[in-house]
Amino acid sequence: MGVLEQFQHWLLGYWPSWAAYLVPAIVAFLVLSSFILLVVMAFIYIERRGVGRFQVRLGPNRAGPLGILQPVADAIKVLVKEDIIPSRGDRRIHWLAPIIAFMPALAIFAVIPFGPRAIFTDINIGILYIIAISSLGVIGVFMAGWASGNKYSLVSALRTVAQLISYEIPLMLSIAGVLIISGSLSMVSIVEAQSIPFILLQPLGFLIFFVAATAELNRTPFDLLEAESEIVAGYHTEYSGMKFSLFYLAEYTHAFAISAIVATLFLSGWKGPFLPPALWLMIKVFLVFIVLFWARSTLPRLRVDQLMGFAWKGLFPLALLNLFITAAEAIIWPGFPWQLLILNLLIAALLIVLWSGLFRVAGERVSFHRYGRGIAKGMALTFRHLFRRPITVQYPEQRLTPAPRFRGNLLVWDEERCNGCRACARACPVSIIDIETKKGDKGLIVETLEIDFGRCLFCGLCVEACPVAALFMSRDYEQASYFRESLVVKKEQFIAAEKRPSAYAYPDLEAEMPPQTLLAPPKEKG
Amino acid sequence: MAVGLEHFLILSAVLFSIGLYGALAKRNAVVILMCIEIMLNAVNIAMVAFSRYGHLLTGQVFAIFIMVVAAAEVVVGLALVIAIYRSRETVDVERIDLMKW
Amino acid sequence: MPEVALAIFLLPIFSFVVISLIIRPFLNKRPQLSWYVTIASIGASLILSLWMLVEVIKAPGHVLPMPDYQWLVIGDTSIHLGVMADSLAAVMLIVVTVVSLVVQIYSRGYMHGDPGYCRYFAFMSLFTGSMLGLVLADNLLFLFVFWELVGLCSYLLIGFWFHRPEAARAATKAFIVTRIGDFGFLAAILFLYAKTGTFDIGELQHLALVGAIGGTALTWAAIGIFSGAVGKSAQFPLHTWLPDAMEGPTPVSALIHAATMVAAGVFLVARLFPMIASSYEAIMTVAIIGGFTAIFAATMGMVMNDFKRILAYSTISQLGYMMLGLGVVGVGVARGAVALEVGLALGVAVGIFHLFNHAFFKALLFFGAGSASHATGTFDIREMGGLRKAMPWTFATFLIGSLSIVGIWPLAGFWGKEQILSQAWHYAPILFYLAMITVFMTAFYMFRLLFLAFGGEYRGGAHVSLRESPAVMIVPMVLLAILSVVSGWLPISEFLGGESHSFFGALASPMAWASLLLAALGILLAYAIYSKKWISAESMRRRFAPLYTIVSRKYWFDELYENVFVVRILVDGIFALFHWFDDHIVDGMVNGIAGGTIAAGREIRRLQTGQLQAYGLAIFIGILAIIAFFMIFG
Amino acid sequence: METGIAISFWILAAVMVASALAVVWLRDIFRAALFLVLCFFSVAGVFVILGADFLAAAQVLIYVGAIAVLIIFAIMLTRETQRGSPSGRFRFIAFLVGLLFLVTVTLVVVSTDWHAITEIPAEPTTSSLAQALFSGESGFVLPFEIAAVLLLAAIIGAIVLVRER
């Protein structure tokens, strides 16, 4: 009996039955929402910082200490944004879609056990309930894609739905192995059945479940629905403001839910020594989530045909085989002794290696030796990056030293040396250098010098053309403007500008330059 | 007012009749398939209601088989609709009568 | 040992199955295999046949008891299958297996490099197996099955080179003409079954001898059976197919159309001799047709120019002899001139003894023809000549064969012919004179052939270099030549229950001298005309021009059959009637029904709108109607 | 408990009938499909109050998760949204037939004496359902296998039908 039912029972003594049903539901919803909101914010923060570290950069670190308020800032920003509804879209469905997408993810938590007695409702078909409910999210995606009245959104929705349906099958089949061992659909009994965590008894099932769940979450390498280069931002291209934030929230809630399911099904849920059960579960959830974005920061995105081929030719038969093997084991060794761990590990390794050699994806034979090793090496590399110093810098405070021959914007002009020969203007292929001279005492004096950097190619021909070394490329890279006029730089500005010449075309300068700091940090050089 | 078997059966009948009307009156083949699904659901309600009020699980077993058949039916039906749409650019059943004579 | 007897004919059939199902589809690159398989199976059959001959000789009454098998039961009647292992079957087995084996050896050289090599040996195996089965059958139904099978093989092998239109036409002709005879045979079998309720040969003969069947019924049955024999043995008037059948490969002619299959007619009469001889009219018919065919075919043989056709007419003529032999003894038996038991055995002995000898020397003669044409590339004897020098072995063996067929003492042909002539002299003097003339004619046409083909100078094209045939063809010929000399000395006749003859005692009778004299006259005439050219063949032809025309056009029998029977009676008469019936009555009924259906459908199909929902509505209205019906009346 | 079930029933029934009517009524096919989802969902709710918990989950999984999604897919692939979902020429007679059918069945339901057992059956049905499906003597193993074969045949047939040549 879950927390919810206990609450109901307690209330039934005092209130009419309809209230006794309704009130716990509302309370549960509120408690759950706020808890999920908290966890999701933590997730977002951990993911952004973590992905930063995996990719040897800093990640958000400005809002609050260590950037810990970044999710809050994001939330506020997104909430105050204008809510745009496309005119060709379907207003009501557009409005409804994010809610439909969010609700199933929330509803999953009704059956996640946070402790031996800490579960909202222990229904006897818990895992079936989860599968059924999570298949509802598809409808929300569909609605969003349809209601946006946008081709890219629609294509994204279709892609997403195809992907979700395809990966749902190996997902369910891999769960079936767990169900055979535990002999129950109830989440609580599944946790209780795990004297050995099922990840050890079902290594292959775990792998399949994890991969399929990653695809269900639309996370890299399966994030086809937001393949920016192809279909803009996917089905939520036309969403902004509150509704977008709801989609965002749904995505992370779903990630949380899936992590919790993985932890419950395969990592023995809330079980663990010393610490309280709920804490154990959250530790496992975060571990699973870290692995999720570890993979995200390592692996490249799959193509559509590869995605489908992988699901149907790779995961689906493997999941079937896993189911058969587990069923056979259930008949031969009904007690599932610990010796099976070794056997199952061997079977899993063998099946993966053999099966990967058997099928083709997108006309190419999948070889474990090629892809498996590649994936392992990539994961190891990103894992090592986790412990490296980030090579990005705190930009306004710290600056990069560019390469000695870096061609920065704004030329450096040395008025004293210039003899007004106009060689630079003649050399410019786009004729943006406007120079006028008059006769002075010792030769020509430059009267006006105007260069339109809005059209500059940074070809450096003017610098090379200068016979008296009066013109240099600069090392600056920070100029930007909202107005074209301000990109036309005048003589006075050149004189006033800070003189940071680049060594481009001036090899004698190069020796004195400091070494570059972007990809070769001084530490490793020395 | 207590809810009994008759309530569920009449609900089932209402749902079935709505589905029947839709299946017979609509012109879009996909909508007809949708209405057929409604009819099947109505039957399922009756089955489960009998199972509940007869204390016999056979009704639920039947409902499971009906679901399986419904899934198979909708798969083949939609495949047919899409195949017809590809060749004839329409899913209007009043215009799909090529096989009449 | 009935299993062994079954193996005798099952082995070649097994060889056919192996060749056609395994070697030809899968091992076509090595066709020699089919030859080995054929030789092995027929060799085994030969050994088994010899063993069986020994067993039959040892057995009392020269009959081995053989169990029979129940084949099928239809209602109350059960049909038994069995093997008849008596002296007749044993002798025939030897004939068939020996000749077949020799022919297969010969074929290896003759058919070398033919694209249908495997097919050829498959058919040959099937034929041998069927022929052996025919010989062994103790039952008319069983016999008829094999009878038709050998007919089929004959058809397939005549048309072996089916890409040649003449071969295809000859095959069809052979098939259809023999089928006319077989129709009579089948009708007789069914008639007998309806009368007696059995197919068993022994039982039928017994019934005929005790008179349980007799009179007109027996006569018609016997004549029906004989008509089958007439067709198969190419007797007058169904003789036209055999000369044309020479379109097949020469070994086929030697085996099927000279030694074995055509002799099956004679064998059939011998097999059912007691029954046929019980009817005077029937056996008289046999004798007359035999005697007439003998001389009739011989006349045509005298003027033919095709090597194999001459031999074909000679075969017909010799088969007529055999029929004559059977017939005259039968006439004697029917008249009561000879004791029944003795006479029945004697008739079989007379006919089959000649058959036995004839098989060897006629196969030999055909081998000679094959060898000659192998060298010259033609069968036209006008384009041969001078082969004696180029092909000494062929010439020598062919000469032996010719002397044998002419009936020169002491070669094989002499003994059989001698018996037939003496029996004819006893019981049917008119036929005896015909036979004597035939002897003269035989000698003439055989030696005409010999002198034209082997004597003189080569008249063919210069481009052909004459060479003796390879050893694989010569050896079988020598083998057969030896048999052609000695086969008459074997006590086959006594074994079959006929009269014995002594080696020199035969010369004591004046009849032998008369026939020898006639033969010598024939040889002399041929020598005079075709070797020495004392008498010009051309002037002879002009002097007897009308006769020559009649004979060389084969008495217009082909034209008669083609123009009168086929075109006038069948095509213009009966078929036209059928055609009218088909056009008006049958088609009218069919078209009427179809038209009615279409007209009805045109009206009814308006119900079929093709609209899904109309059908759905109809279904539900129907359901409602049923519910309403039960509510109101239930 | 009883009142709770009654309230849920009436709410679910109202939603179900309304959404079914909307499916038939609406001209916008996509919205009709969404209402179909709602209808399926309320059917699942009815299953819950009928004590068929496994079936309720299966209903959501199969109808909402699979069939409705397929239908929406088909709607998108056939692109007939401009024309929408008009009524055909049989609408009046279809309406009559539907009404007559409803009346007939209602009459039958009302006039029949159902020997209904009103006490609540044992709740978790999953394992007893499995017993009923797979038990040796009275099981439905063969129909189950046939259903599996049917599904396989349907899948293969659908693939063959829509494959582009």
Burial C465-493 (b: 16+ CB within 10 A, else e): eeebbeeebbebbbbbbebbbebbebebb
Q: How many angstroms separate the CA atoms of A225 and A232, rounded?
A: 9
CATH of the domain spanning A412-512: 3.30.70.3270
Q: What is the phi/psi pair of residue A403, to 5°?
A: -60, 150
Residue in C605, C609, C613 closest to B24 by CB: C613
Per residue in C492-512, pLDDT tens?
Answer: 777 777 777 776 767 777 888
Q: What is the pLDDT of residue A524?
A: 46
CB contact under 8 A, D4 and A136: no
Q: What token pair was written down for C380?
A: 């036209």
Q: What token pair was written down for A462?
A: 């003017």
Q: What is the pLDDT of residue D70?
A: 86
pLDDT over 80 at A207, yes or no: yes
Q: Which residues pair with A435 in a beta bridge?
A: A449
Question: Partners for C (CB, 8 Å, 3+ pairs)?
Answer: B, D
Find the mean pLDDT for residues A19-44: 85
Radius of gyration of chain A (CA): 31
Asked, for residue B48, whether it belongs to a domain, the answer is yes
pLDDT over 80 at A392, yes or no: no
Contacts of A136 in chain D (CB under 8 A): 60, 64-65
Tell me the longest C-alpha to C-alpha distance in chain A: 107
**Residue C437: band (very low, low, confident or very high) from pLDDT cuts 50, 70, 90:** confident
pLDDT over 60 at C1, yes or no: no
Q: Which of D69, D128, D134, D159 to mutate to probe the A interface, most A CBs <10 Å?
A: D69
Find the mean pLDDT for residues C141-145: 86
Find the mean pLDDT for residues C523-534: 81
Per residue in C477-486, pLDDT tens?
Answer: 888 888 888 8
Q: What is the phi/psi pair of residue C102, to 5°?
A: -60, -40
Q: Which of A485-489, C324-328, C535-539, C582-586 has the lowest mean pLDDT?
A: C535-539
Asked, for residue B101, whether it belongs to a domain, the answer is no
Q: Which residues pair with C74 in a beta bridge?
A: C77
Q: What is the CATH number of the domain that holds B26?
A: 1.10.287.3510
Contacts of D94 in chain C (CB under 8 A): 613, 617
Q: What is the phi/psi pair of residue A411, to 5°?
A: -75, 160
pLDDT over 90 at D18, yes or no: yes
Q: What is the pLDDT of residue A209?
A: 92
Contact A65, A219 (CB under 8 A): no
Contact A121, A5 (CB under 8 A): yes
Residue in C613, C623, C624 closest to D90 by CB: C613
Asked, for residue B98, whether it belongs to a domain, the answer is no
Q: Where are the domains of chain A?
A: 81-272+287-384, 412-512
Contact C322, C266 (CB under 8 A): yes
Q: How many angstroms separate the CA atoms of B57 and B67, rounded?
A: 16
Element (H, E) at A450: strand A444-452
List Cβ<8 Å contacts ≥24 apart for A333-336: A336/A181, A336/A196, A336/A201
For domain D1-80, the CATH architecture is Up-down Bundle (1.20)
> Which amino acid, one-letter code, is at C67?
P
Find, in chain B, the residue whose alpha carbon is nearest to that of D73.
Answer: B78
Q: What is the pLDDT of residue B101?
A: 47
From C280, C354, C296, select the one nearest C323 (Cα to Cα): C354
CB contact under 8 A, B61 and D133: yes
For residue C118, the tally of other CB atoms under 10 A from its CB is 24
Find, in chain D, the residue whose alpha carbon is nearest to that of A8.
Answer: D1
- Please report where in the chains the tokens 């958000």 appear, as a residue: A60
- Please report where in the chains the tokens 């909307």 appear, as a residue: D22
Q: What token pair was written down for D40?
A: 């399926």
Contacts of C631 in chain D (CB under 8 A): 104
Q: Which of A335-344, C352-361, D18-27 has the lowest mean pLDDT?
A: A335-344
Q: How many angstroms separate the CA atoms of A83 and B20, rounded?
A: 42
Q: How many angstroms separate the CA atoms of C448 and C66, rounded?
A: 49
Q: What is the pLDDT of residue A526?
A: 39
Residue C592 Cα, gap to closest chain B Cα (Å):
22
Q: What is the pLDDT of residue D19?
A: 92
Collect all residues with Cβ–Cβ distance below 8 Å to C22 and sequence separation of at least 6: none
**Residue A518: band (very low, low, confident or very high) from pLDDT cuts 50, 70, 90:** low
Asked, for residue B10, whether it belongs to a domain, the answer is yes
Per residue in A148-192, pLDDT tens?
Answer: 877 888 888 888 888 888 888 899 899 988 888 888 888 888 888
When divided into structural domains, chain B yields a total of: 1
- How far is residue A219 from each of residues A215, A296, A302, A384, C282, measured CA to CA in Å? 6, 7, 11, 22, 104
Contact C326, C351 (CB under 8 A): yes
Contacts of D54 in chain A (CB under 8 A): 125, 128
Q: What token pair was written down for C599?
A: 């007209």
CB contact under 8 A, C610 and B32: no
- How far is residue B38 from each of residues B13, B32, C246, C590, measured CA to CA in Å? 11, 10, 82, 50
- Please report where in the chains the tokens 């001139």 appear, as a residue: C337
Distance of CA A508 to the CA centre of its chain: 46
SS3 at position A490: strand
The ranges of chain B with pLDDT < 70 are: 1, 98-101
% of chain A at pLDDT higher than 90: 1
